[in-house]
């Protein structure tokens, strides 16, 4: 087997058609990574004059003049082909050792299992144990079957299929989610797609969730993916006029109901056997009326301060092949009472279904499905999994050590941080 350098076009043409194709393994993503100080190169694996694999590598210096290379979402190879895995590994070690690389990191999207919203396994890959053994025999160090966000990329990812009609997709969303979507929509939550590449406005919200990445990274994303319509930016707004008008209408409607029950309670012609039921209904109406009154006051004040709309969050997606991935969504914490993420997810599902994509990647969830013990991740899992999502469990992260001494120094530096 030979390892050859590939041009961007040669790499993209091979990568786009591969089983493990992902936007992380594209020249566009390589160019974005340069905004984070990473260098890149592309290699192909050739057998019998045929390209049988390829990978994008991101690399940087980690200690003295020693470097590490990261293949985001792993090499584009057949991991069930033991001979190929061995030849690729030996070839890379021989090549990169001469260039002072300490180790290689991979995290291939090899599926271990598919799980339902409760964490029950609905599919288990019979090939995964053989792949683990193959990688282990070739000296790859598995970083474990972790359940949270210990790795570079999430090990558990939620997907919603878009292959049914919209009516069927909606029917499979949880009833709780449907009620929240309706309530939030009545409260004026709207999703507006940005057409101008407004990265400054996007960053105002994204930085609230991810402070590690600078604005230039998102500028790089748009410059590379947005130019070919592969990146969509959305702003989550509250239409304050709609919110105020809906709350006024609901208050007036409930006020009429409340007055009806009040009259019935006072009506001496109503049998005593029915009185208690009416009283209970009146008390429930009192509760609703108080809720709508408070909402009306809040909506009135919000409308005065923001006469048309108030932006409370932002999100963006990247489209690749037949799927779409929600990269990040972020909201002003004081407006989370509006449950904007529910509306966002449903609106994006509708949009991308209508654009004939096959799946919507809701991105990371945690692999612990014990709803009582999830802590800060409880909301993350709870919302995404209500959208009839299937959770893909990937095989995890591996380090291929080339220089043990430098690798251990690098690892110890990471652990001290």
SS3 4: strand
- Going by pLDDT thresholds of 50, 70 and 90, the confidence category of residue 414 is low
Average pLDDT, the chain: 94
pLDDT at 275 over 90: no
Q: Residue 188 region, left (φ>0) first, then alpha (ψ -120 to 50), else beta? A: left
Q: What is the pLDDT of residue 64?
A: 87
- pLDDT tens track for 16-32: 999 999 999 999 999 99
Question: How many angstroms separate the CA atoms of 154 and 72, rounded?
Answer: 12
Q: What is the pLDDT of residue 373?
A: 66
Q: What is the pTM of this model?
A: 0.93
C-beta separation of 398 from 106 below 8 A: yes
Question: How many angstroms separate the CA atoms of 85 and 284, rounded?
Answer: 66
Residue 180: CA count within 13 A, CB half-sphere:
20
Residue 152 has phi, psi (to 5 degrees) of -60, -40
Neighbours of 82 (CB within 10 A): 16
Q: What is the pLDDT of residue 417?
A: 37
- pLDDT tens track for 191-204: 999 999 999 999 99
- Summarize the confidence of residues 291-299 as an average pLDDT: 96
pLDDT at 411 over 90: no
- Summarize the confidence of residues 59-82 as an average pLDDT: 95
C-beta separation of 34 from 70 below 8 A: no
Q: What is the pLDDT of residue 380?
A: 82
- pLDDT tens track for 102-132: 999 999 999 999 999 889 999 999 999 999 9
Question: How many angstroms separate the CA atoms of 280 and 241, rounded?
Answer: 34
DSSP alpha helix (H) spans, 226-313 = 240-266, 272-305
pLDDT at 413 over 90: no
pLDDT at 381 over 90: no
Q: Distance between alpha carbon 307 and the CA centroid of its chain, in Å?
A: 33
- pLDDT tens track for 305-332: 999 999 999 999 999 999 999 999 999 9
Residue 286: CA count within 13 A, CB half-sphere:
8
- Please give, one letter per residue, the 3-state secondary structure of 39-68: EEEEEEEEECCEEEEEEEEEEEEEECCEEE
C-beta separation of 385 from 156 below 8 A: no
Alpha carbon distances (Å) from 415 to 36, 66, 178, 410, 412: 22, 19, 44, 9, 5
Question: How many angstroms separate the CA atoms of 310 and 82, rounded?
Answer: 56
SS3 30: helix
pLDDT at 207 over 90: yes
pLDDT at 178 over 70: yes
Percent of all residues in the chain with a pLDDT value above 70, rounded to a whole number: 97
Q: What is the pLDDT of residue 127?
A: 95
């Amino acid at each position: 087997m030979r390892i050859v350098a590939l041009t961007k076009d040669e790499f993209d043409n091979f990568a786009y058609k591969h089983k493990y194709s992902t936007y992380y393994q594209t020249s566009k993503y390589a160019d974005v990574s340069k905004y984070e100080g990473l260098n890149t190169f592309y290699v192909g694996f050739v057998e019998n004059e045929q390209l049988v694999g390829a990978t994008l590598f991101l690399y940087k210096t980690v200690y003295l003049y020693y470097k590490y290379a990261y293949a985001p979402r792993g090499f584009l190879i057949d991991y069930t082909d033991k001979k190929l895995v061995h030849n690729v590994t030996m070839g890379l070690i021989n090549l990169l050792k001469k260039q002072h690389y300490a180790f290689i990191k991979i995290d291939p999207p090899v599926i271990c299992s598919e799980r339902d919203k409760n964490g029950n396994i609905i599919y288990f890959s019979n090939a995964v144990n053989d792949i683990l053994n193959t990688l282990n025999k070739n000296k790859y160090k598995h970083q474990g079957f972790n359940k949270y966000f210990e790795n570079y990329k999430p090990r558990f990812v939620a997907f919603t299929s878009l292959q049914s009609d919209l009516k069927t997709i909606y029917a499979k969303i949880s009833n709780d989610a449907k009620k929240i979507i309706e309530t939030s929509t009545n409260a004026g939550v709207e999703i507006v797609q940005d057409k101008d590449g407004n990265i400054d406005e996007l960053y105002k919200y994204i930085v609230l969730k991810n402070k590690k990445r600078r604005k230039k990274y998102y500028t790089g994303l748009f410059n590379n993916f947005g130019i070919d319509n592969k990146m969509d930016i959305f702003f989550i707004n509250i239409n304050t006029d709609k919110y105020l008008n809906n709350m006024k209408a609901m208050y007036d409607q409930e006020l009429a109901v409340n007055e009806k029950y009040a009259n019935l309670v006072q009506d001496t012609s109503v049998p005593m056997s029915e009185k208690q039921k009416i009283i209970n209904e009146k008390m429930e109406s009192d509760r609703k009326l108080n809720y709508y009154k408070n909402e009306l006051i809040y909506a009135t004040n919000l409308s005065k301060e923001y006469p048309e709309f108030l932006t409370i969050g932002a999100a963006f997606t990247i489209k690749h092949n037949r799927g779409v991935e929600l990269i990040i969504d972020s909201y002003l914490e004081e407006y989370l009472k509006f449950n904007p993420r529910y509306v966002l997810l449903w609106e994006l599902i509708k949009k991308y279904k209508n654009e004939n994509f096959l799946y919507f990647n809701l991105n990371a969830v945690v692999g612990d499905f014990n709803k009582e013990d999830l802590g800060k991740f409880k909301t993350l899992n709870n919302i995404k999994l209500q959208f009839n999502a299937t959770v893909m469990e990937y095989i995890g992260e591996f380090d291929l050590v080339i220089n043990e001494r430098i690798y251990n120094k690098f690892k110890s530096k990471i652990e001290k941080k």
